[in-house]
Amino acid sequence: PIGRPYPGNRLYVLDDWAELMPFGVPGELWIGGAGVAIGYHDRADLTATWFRPDPFAGGPGARMYRTGDRARLRADGVLELLGRLDDQVKLHGHRIELAEVEAALAALPQVGAAAVVLRPDRRGTPRLVGYVTARDPADPPDPTGLRAALAHFLPRHALPTQTVLLDSLPLNPNGKVDRRALPAPPEPQTADDPPTPPPPRTRDQQEMAAVWRQILGHDQIGPDDGFFELGGDSFLALRLIRQVEQTFGVRVALLDLYRHPTITQLVEHLETRRGSVGGPARPDALLHRLTVADGSAAMGTIVCIPYSGGQAVSFEPLAAALPDGWALYAAQFPGRDFSRPDEPSLAFDELVSCCADEITKLPGPIYLYGHCHGAAVTIALANRLQELGSPQSGVAVGAMFPMARMPGRFFDWIYRRFQVDRLVSDRAIQEEVRALGGGLADLQADPAEQAVVMRAVRQDERCSEEYFTRTLTDRHHPRFSAPMLSIVGSKDRVTELYAERYHEWEHFAEQVDLAVLPRAGHGFLKHQAPELARTLTDWAAELHEPAAMGPSSGAAPQPVPRDTVAGDTTARDTTARGGAVDGSRHRSPDPRPGFGRFAVVAAGQLVSAIGSALSLLVMSVWMLDHTGRISAFATTAAVSLLPGILVGPVAGAVADRYDRRTVMLIADATAGATTFGMAMLVALNRPNLLEICLLCGLTSVAATFQRPAFLAAVAQLVPKPFLGHASGVVQLGAGMGALFAPMIGAGLLTVLPLSVILLIDAATFTVAVGTLAAVRFPDWLFRRREESMRVQLARGVRYVLRRPGLRALMVFFLGDHILYAIGFTLIQPMVLLEHGVGTLGLVLVAGGVGALTGALTMSIWGGTRRRTHGMLLATAASNVAIVVIGLAREPWLIAVGMFGLAFSEALIDGHWMALLQTKVGLELQGRVNSLFLVVVTVFLPIGYLVMGPLADHVLRHTLEPGGALHDSVGPVLGTGPDRGLGFVVVISGLLLSVWLLRAWANLRLLEDHLPDAVPDAEIWDRDTEQERADRAIRAADGTAAPAAPAAPAVGATVDGPSAEDLAWIETWRAVYDHAHKGTDRPVVGQDFTGWNSSYDGTPIPAEEMREWRDATVERIREYRPRRVLEIGVGSGALLVPLAEHCEHYTGTDLSSVAVDTLDRDLREQRPALHRRVELRAQLGHVAGGLRASGYDLIILNSVVQYFPSRDYLSEVLDVALGLLTPGGHIFVGDVRNLRLHGHLRAAVRQHAPSPAAVAGAGDTELLVDPALWDDLARGRP
């Protein structure tokens, strides 16, 4: 502790984004006040780095100084100094706290004082160097033995390469170690430095030593010196392996060096493998021990199978996190080591057999763990070991559910004839995995290494799909008896819908359980290795102690229970059980997902989608042909697009909230009725533009509601292991329908009357309605939208405006699509008037082929290295295509131009999505993309409405005889009644080119100014992720967050909840998810699950809870509320008695499980009440989707999860005030603090006289002082 600042000075503890840290959380120490200097003399660069404007001072011109010290502020206002921030260094991808290394050195018996620095060796390679003094000068430590002693306390990457013994450490005038005065370490093992290591004993050892000297830069290396002890690391290890292979002519695996780290051991290993260095190679073992070789395996042995393309060393973090008594073996499969690029791979079955043979020789009990696509090998291994009579004690899989391709002979033939995975480029796969935070995130840029890894990735994923396809369609596939655990990250996109999907493993195992790692993404093997290790070992302990499984009766739920289901973005029934695949032997609620049901519904919806597109197309064409006015065509085309765009956000919400089968039935029936109405108007020869537009608009709206409902329903109709490929089949079918609809429409218009065509279209909707009526939908989970379109657009605008590069790109897109709409809206009427309906059909089909070809090209190619360049070049190509279309007189040339236009647009979209994935990140892509999609789509119908009348009255006549441009432009473009339309198309293409040239300078280096979006180790909600990204931008620009209206105290939060607060809230989310999962609620609103005493943790008696509930409801009713918002709705204990007396009742809760369960219970038990209730799963500080000033009473119940800190409670109150109508009320109840529960219960058990005192000084939340509320009310209405 260093105390408090002097009067007139201010001390701030800030994070990396210059935001104030909460009490007790370490950060960087900044100094403000009158004592801060102006800056460094004549060093503007240093001044800009270390001096910043002080946003917390409350006055102009105030500055603060960055000390570079790590500190934290205690709740009593005392500052604790923790060391220097520059004590944290990064070496070969690992963050190392130098203070921790120094403390470990100083704790050794013979060491007096210690210092550690990062400094380059003579080759320029950074190394950790330690400096020590002797505790007893008569008994100095041996520097060469200190590294071995430290290995028991520190990970390998934190061990100093060299340690230097000094008489004393140099100090500066302030008494601190002067690191710059520490002497350079002597060159290790020179000829004059005794003791000289013994020379290599054999010729092979001498040659190996020469290679080591070349790589490590050491003059003398002994045969028993360890490679990593001499300063080797994974990067130098790869160089060494390649040099050894060139020198000895033998293949060496990277893992060989980890297992045989000395010259003697490595040479002996080579001799063992080959019999002699010159003999033939012998096969390597597949399993390699990563824990200490002579360590105990009394608790168990974990055998790990890596993810696709992964290596055994990927499990080093997990091995390091395991407690004593555990051994970990990781598989290194042939063909995965990029130091051996030509090594052949083993077939799947051979791989499983070899691994099983090795596992039978390991000490037990044996636990298998497969990560991601390694799950397939893990499941096959479990079955193989059971066949061998060597069953394992448990099987665990992480970050994966079964993923299979579509079954059936047709798809079997497709996959045999074509390598479908080759349709996706290596680069696209790498970028997708990086966005997920998966195992390829650290893949180096070496093309040779990438080629090896990507070849292995494709093979592993192909084998995994084939295995799961074969086994999931086998009704009699054997199950293993060992217990199985499915481990997922709550924020992992790969394992969404995990509340239901983990039951898919029941097709393979008799007993399956689920564990959820809070805030973890797909890369939890790397980022949450300690949590993963704890999950595995705790699970293993529970398997050996059945009585310990699950929370005991009457006990409070554990903070992170083993079967927690937290943060899942799902909808509908969460109680469905049984394997989610056809032919599962388990019973579950009927109907079940199946391919027959999916095929019938998909066929009907595909036919109706083609009919809808056909109706809208032929009506537009017929209106132009019937009236001769382009404005009639343009108006019909506009109303076929604009209503759908406007109701799109509502359609998505309806698909989430209501039964999708009902939505699709209504949409198809409406579209059929409107199409039949258009047929009758045409047949009676009384078409009216207003009536036709009204019917076309209704058809467009119906199609807009049908699409999201059908896409969401696919997840309920298809067994989810096949969902990915089934969605691809649906999209392919929709694309083919859109491709051939113009051709079908044009062909039918030449041979049939329009009324007959419309009747045919109406019949397609009858087919769709019939299939829906005949098929029952399973009530299984589907992925719903996580936020409304309004919230997406608002947050997207904020995100874009805070990034100059994206702002420039948005301005470019705005101008580009305005100019694009001018020309594109006239292409169809131009072709129709000049060449007829047959040519129009040909041109539209060419455009469809171009779009499909462009998307396929982008997928296989992967795009340009700089995404912005590819996007701009493709834009230039599309501009050229527009000019070609306008100039062309021959139908085939127009078709070529349309092909090029659609092809280029597909490349633009592909490069844009790749840029979005790389620079924006997975969690925030939807917000930014929704904004750009609005820009792309909204101008086209507006262009139709503007250009149609303009074309009729001005443009189409300009190149007629006597027209304004007949003599000047006519010789170039040609003349005729409608050639003026071609002229406008050409002008549009030229203006687009000029606009592109002007934007090129601002956009060509866009990617250099936008940092890559790298997934954090922990993933939070979208608002928090966006705020963290904004803070990083502000920090990079050198600007701090704006000051609050009143200068906050040190330790307060300024903008958004702190990471510590969110961590506690996430813990409560896990508790409530567990409490509400799978409970039996015979009467909705009468369940008091999770209401436990703060004093001893036992459940509060139901009669006491009812007494509290009735008294609370009576008090709230005194306010006569009409529109109520309850934050923390839980099981609906307050909602049910209150909602029936209100006009509308909105309930939010941090637990999606509680919300989904309450929604289901209300729908089934109280349908009338359900209609006036809206339920949302979101945190208390999030106002998205809630109506501003829309509630006359807001209930904060319970505040326990909203009170991890006073600052967070204040933020929730401010959010509530923004949602409250003038004169409204906020009702607050159940104020507790999770952090104090343990202290309080311990005090009660010990009969302490004052439980609050035991909780700790400065914590007043548990027993709330009324003055707290008086203080919170200051400045608030």
The DSSP letter of residue 513 is E
> Mind listing the pLDDT tens digit for each residue in 742-761?
778 877 887 888 889 899 98
Regarding the domain delimited by 597-785, which CATH topology (the fold level of the hierarchy) does it fall under? Growth Hormone; Chain: A; (1.20.1250)
Three-state secondary-structure class, residue 118: strand
Bridge partner list, 97: 88
Which residue type sits at 1234?
L
CA distance 302 to 824: 62
The total number of residues written for the chain in this structure: 1277
- Average pLDDT, whole number, for the chain? 79
Q: How many CB atoms lie within 10 A of CB 217?
A: 17
CA distance 810 to 1060: 35
CA distance 1189 to 1166: 28
Local confidence band at 511 (pLDDT 50, 70, 90 cut-offs): very high
Mean pLDDT of 347-362: 92
Q: Are 299 and 325 in contact (CB under 8 A)?
A: yes
Q: Are 562 and 539 in contact (CB under 8 A)?
A: yes
Q: Are 79 and 1 in contact (CB under 8 A)?
A: yes
- What pLDDT is recorded for position 95? 62
285-544: which CATH architecture? 3-Layer(aba) Sandwich (3.40)
Q: How many CB atoms lie within 10 A of CB 154?
A: 17
94-181: which CATH architecture? 2-Layer Sandwich (3.30)
Mean pLDDT of 822-842: 90
More confident residue, 995 or 711: 995
> Mind listing the pLDDT tens digit for each residue in 931-955?
888 888 888 899 999 999 999 888 8
More confident residue, 710 or 1182: 710
Local confidence band at 277 (pLDDT 50, 70, 90 cut-offs): very low
Q: Do domains 195-282 and 597-785 have the same CATH topology?
A: no
Maximum C-alpha span of the chain? 115
Sheet with strand 162-165: strands edge to edge: 111-120, 126-134, 162-165
Q: Are 734 and 593 in contact (CB under 8 A)?
A: no
Say whether pLDDT at 858 is over 70: yes
- Exposure string of 528-556, with b = 16+ CB inside 10 Å and e = fewer, is bbebbbbbbbebbebbeeeeeeeeeeeeb
The DSSP letter of residue 680 is H
Q: Are 928 and 1022 in contact (CB under 8 A)?
A: no
- Exposure string of 587-604, with b = 16+ CB inside 10 Å and e = fewer, is ebeeebbbbebbbbbbeb
Q: Are 918 and 867 in contact (CB under 8 A)?
A: yes
- What pLDDT is recorded for position 1255? 39
DSSP H helical ranges for 202-233: 203-216
The DSSP letter of residue 286 is S
| Tokens, residue 262 | 């000395």
Name the one residue in this structure whose structure tokens are 């401010």.
1214
Cβ neighbours of residue 354 under 8 Å, at least 6 residues apart?
286, 346
More confident residue, 46 or 409: 409
- What pLDDT is recorded for position 1243? 54
Regarding the domain delimited by 1059-1273, which CATH topology (the fold level of the hierarchy) does it fall under? Rossmann fold (3.40.50)
CA distance 914 to 1121: 50
More confident residue, 1024 or 264: 264
Q: Tell me how far CA of residue 621 lies from CA of 112, 170, 341, 899, 948, in angstroms.
A: 91, 88, 59, 21, 14
Range 195-282 has CATH code 3.40.50.620 = no
Say whether pLDDT at 1053 is over 60: no
Q: Give one DSSP letter per residue of 1204-1222, joined into a string.
A: SSHHHHHHHHHHHHHHEEE
Domains of the chain by residue range:
9-85, 94-181, 195-282, 285-544, 597-785, 788-1013, 1059-1273
Three-state secondary-structure class, residue 52: strand
> Mind listing the pLDDT tens digit for each residue in 101-122?
888 888 888 888 999 988 877 6
Pairing relation of β-strands 63-73 and 27-33? antiparallel
> How many CA atoms lie within 13 Å of 1004's alpha carbon, on the beta-carbon side?
7
> Mind listing the pLDDT tens digit for each residue in 427-442?
777 777 777 766 655 5
- What pLDDT is recorded for position 588? 43
In degrees, rounded to 5, the angle at the alpha carbon of residue 466 between the alpha carbons of residues 463 and 468 is: 105
DSSP H helical ranges for 775-866: 789-801, 804-824, 827-835, 837-861
Three-state secondary-structure class, residue 517: strand
CA distance 440 to 96: 23
- What pLDDT is recorded for position 1045? 30
CA distance 1270 to 1255: 23
Say whether pLDDT at 1261 is over 60: no
In degrees, rounded to 5, the angle at the alpha carbon of residue 195 between the alpha carbons of residues 146 and 126 is: 50
Q: Are 1060 and 1018 in contact (CB under 8 A)?
A: no
Say whether pLDDT at 280 is over 90: no
- What pLDDT is recorded for position 312? 83
- What pLDDT is recorded for position 903? 95
Say whether pLDDT at 422 is over 80: no
pTM for the whole thing? 0.67
Return the CA Rg of the chain.
35
CA distance 973 to 889: 9
Bridge partner list, 304: 330, 369
Say whether pLDDT at 38 is over 80: yes
Local confidence band at 267 (pLDDT 50, 70, 90 cut-offs): confident
Taking the alpha carbons at both ends of the chain, their separation in whole angstroms is 40
Cβ neighbours of residue 351 under 8 Å, at least 6 residues apart?
286, 333, 377
> Mind listing the pLDDT tens digit for each residue in 472-510?
988 888 999 999 999 998 888 899 888 888 999 999 999
Q: Give one DSSP letter per residue of 953-994, joined into a string.
A: HTGGGTTSTT-TTTTTTHHHH--STTHHHHHHHHHHHHHHHH
- What pLDDT is recorded for position 1093? 67
- Domain at 9-85, CATH class: mainly beta
CA distance 309 to 453: 5
- What pLDDT is recorded for position 1044? 30
CA distance 619 to 268: 82
Mean pLDDT lowest for which of 89-93, 524-528, 883-887, 969-973?
89-93
CA distance 1186 to 1215: 10
Bridge partner list, 300: 326
Q: What are phi and psi of 340, to 5 degrees?
A: -130, 70
Q: Are 76 and 1258 in contact (CB under 8 A)?
A: yes
- Domain at 788-1013, CATH class: mainly alpha
DSSP H helical ranges for 628-722: 630-657, 660-683, 689-717
Mean pLDDT of 157-177: 83
